[in-house]
Amino acid sequence: MPTVTVLPHGFRIVVEARANLFDAIEREGRRRGLSLFPLGLCGGKLQCCQCGVVVVDGGETGLKRPYPRESELVRETGYPTGSRLTCISTVRGDVTVRLPDECERGRRPEADGDP
Ligand code: FES
* CATH pick for 3-105 out of 3.40.1390.10, 3.10.20.30, 3.30.70.260, 3.40.50.300: 3.10.20.30
Q: Say how many CA atoms lie within 13 Å of 93 toward its Cβ.
A: 8
Question: Does any ligand 1 atom lie closer than 6 A to the CB of residue 51?
Answer: yes
Tell which atom from ligand 1 comes closest to the C-alpha of 51: 4
Could you tell which of 45, 97, 105 is best to mutate to test the pocket of ligand 1, judged by most ligand atoms within 8 Å of the CB? 45
First to last CA, the chain: 40
As a whole number of angstroms, the distance between CA 95 and CA 6 comes to 9
pLDDT at 110: 65
pLDDT at 115: 46
68-106 pLDDT tens trace: 999 999 999 999 999 999 999 999 999 999 999 888 887
15-71 pLDDT tens trace: 999 999 999 999 999 999 999 998 889 988 899 999 999 999 998 999 999 999 999
The domain ranges of the chain are 3-105
Residue type at 110 in one-letter notation: E
Question: Does any ligand 1 atom lie closer than 6 A to the CB of residue 85?
Answer: yes
